[in-house]
Every structure is written in structure tokens, then in C-alpha cells.
Amino acid sequence: MSTKKDKFSSKDKNFMKLAFILARSRKGLTGDNPSVGCVIVKKNKIVSIGRTGFNGRPHAEYNAIANSYDNLNGSIMYVTLEPCNHYGKTPPCTQKIVKSGISEVYYPSNDIDKKVKGKSFKILSKNKIKVHKGILVKESKDFYKSYNINRNSKIPFVTGKIAVAKNNMIYSKSNRKITNEYSDKFTHFLRYKNDSILITYKTLNKDNPKLNCRLKGLEHFSPKRIILDNKLETDLNSYIIRTANSNNTLIFYNEAKKSKILEFKKKKVFLLKSKLHKNKNFDFKMILKKIFKYGCRNLLVEGGALLTSKLLRKKFFNEFYLFRGIKKIPKSPGYLAFNDLKLLDKKFKNKVNLNLNLGKDKITLYKK
């Protein structure tokens, strides 16, 4: 059986893979804009690289052209997404590319943004620049899942995470440590890559977590804290409330005494009243739409067993990280276990065991 010959050389693919590595380094940190990587090559040598700036600007193409150490006449650009072609807060990247003297541009697929979609090919071709579209399409589709969900559904990309001991325990007063220091660092990396993190007030009151990123040099990338608390029962002396302001802490509630509401407002917590389902649970789809309006594009859920199971059953997670420690944790009063591990295999098509040099701990990534 014959197969269609790939029109892209291994050299072209390798340059584009490098561009994706650059894009991956900024993924989750570029706000409304997609994270893009760009590599410029001249005479088979890389003369410049670029990636999207923090919060989305400058764009990768602009940075790559500005960073070049050589004249770009006759060079080739490899960029992970269709270059922008409209005026916004900055001039279009297509204009910058034309003026630079670049002669060829490779990218996998069109941007889904209606202001951009499919127009760059015509603009670049009209200016006698060869455009090669369709390279590493599968990789592009996987990489831009979160961006596509943001644009199409107006909700954040939702990542779940839970840590379980060998006997599926997630909490015990006698032994609260489940995973090792290497796994802990990866948890902080996930917080760095997500602009918001969500828990319930029960988890907050039980653990008094910080929910911040504690990787050296990345502390200021700590996510916004979002708490589900129907009756405002969150401990006012908790670390989250003591360090709260209207920009970093949001609590969803349904009913509470005016005096209680005033107490939280004095602590500078941003409160948002939200409806409940008939089963007395928050409407999570509505929660996602509301936090999207407040700038949340990538949400990490570090909930307990109950919230995690509910969201798994309703298929709210776009991907999920399962941390598994090697020790059994003894049961003690108030212990908690996660007994829905089989749901992960049912709700996700793909499972990847991550080799991250975590000692004996294991992390499995589940993807749709």
C-alpha cells in the first residue's frame, strides 16, 4: 500500500521542532495570545530565534527578526503558527517579515483567530515570499489545544492534578507527605505554567496551602487563587486570606451573612456570587466562563478526592497529572483516599508515563 510522500525534509522538520521547543518554554505565560516559537535560518545555519513575550507581546516573529545577528536577505523563517497580519497593539508580523528580506516562510497551520486566519499566505505570496504550510501539523494541533479551547469556547484549558500514596491515600493526619521533593518541584512547575489554581474551602481549611510557585526566580509567576466556598466558611486566618488582594484571590460563594461578606471584603478578597445546581453544587461550566472573563486561560485544579471525581465524571479536565508515591500511608481519623483511578483510563484516550528523574515517584499524564 503506497503512502503519500512527505514534502518536508528532515532538515525542515528539525528546524520546526526547535521552534516548538521555543514556543513550549513560554506556553501558559502569554495571556490571550498563543505561545509561538520562531527560528530563522540562512545558508543552513540558524541566524536568529524568537518566542512570544510574556503576556503575549512582542510576537515571536518580531523578536526573531530583531534578534538577528546577520542580514536576513534570502533567509528562511520557521514559525509554529501563521504569522499575524492585522494591526493591533503592534504592527502585523507579515509586514515585518516582508521588510526583513526573508524569502521563505514555513508554518504548520492557520491561526484560528478570524482576524488572521488564512490571510498571511496571500500577503506573503503577493510579496514574492514562498510560503510552505502543513509542516508538523499533528504536533501543532496537540500544542495549540489550549489556545483553541480559549478562542473557541471562551473558557480556560483545565488541568487536573492529584497525588496518591501506594494505597491510594491522599491525606492522613499521621503522615501528610505523599510524594518526594522532586515531585514537589514539578508541582510548582505546573503552578508556574498555569495562571490560576482552584481548590475548595474544605481543602484550604484542612491543609492551609500556599498555592504559589516556589521555584527560585519564578515566584512572581504564582497563579491566581480561586476558591469554591458556598457559605464563605474559609478560614480567615489561613495563609491564602492573609496574603489576599483583589488581583490574586477570588472566592465563589452562593449565600452568606452580610457581616461575613464584609469580613472577606476587608481582607481584600474578590467575591463573586454564583448559582448552584439543584444538587447544591456549583455550576462548574459557569465558573469556567466567569473566570475566563477575569483573565484565566490555564486553570490548574488541585482539589480533593470529591471535587476531582466530580470533574472527572463530567469530563471537565482537558488533561490530568497523577502523582504516585511509593509508600503506603496508614489510616488515621479523618483520612482521605482517592478510589476513582479507573476513571482516568475511561475518560482519557492517551496515557504518558513521564520520565522526569523523580526518584521512585511516578507521574502519569492523561490526555484527550
> How buried is 262 (Cβ within 10 angstroms: 0-12 exposed, 13-18 middle, 19+ buried)?
exposed
- Measured between alpha carbons, how far is 151 from 132 in angstroms, rounded to an integer? 25
The Cα–Cα gap between 32 and 298 comes to 10
- Compute the half-sphere exposure of residue 289: CA atoms within 13 Å on the CB side of its CA: 8
- Find, among 362, 341, 339, the residue nearest to 352 by Cα: 362
Per-residue DSSP letters for 272-306?
A: EE--B-TTS-B-HHHHHHHHHHTT--EEEE---HH
Q: Phi and psi of 331, rounded to 5°?
A: -75, 145
In the block, residue with C-alpha cell 521555584 = 215
Q: Do residues 134 and 109 make contact, with C-beta atoms less than 8 angstroms apart? A: yes
Q: Mark whether 61 is an active-site residue.
A: yes
If one counts every other C-beta atom within 10 angstroms of the C-beta of residue 39, the result is 27
Radius of gyration of the chain (CA): 23
Residue with cell 501528610: 176
* Nearest Cα to Cα of residue 60 among 86, 74, 79: 79
* Nearest-10 Cα torsion for 270, 273, 279, 284: -60
Per-residue CA distances from 40 to 104, 204, 344, 347 (Å): 10, 48, 41, 40
Q: Which member of 61, 82, 302, 319 is catalytic?
A: 61
Determine how β-strand 319-324 pairs with β-strand 362-367: antiparallel
Residue 39's H or E segment, with its range, is: strand 37-42
- With CA atoms as reference, report the closest residue to 294 among 343, 247, 243: 247
Catalytic residues, by residue number, are 61
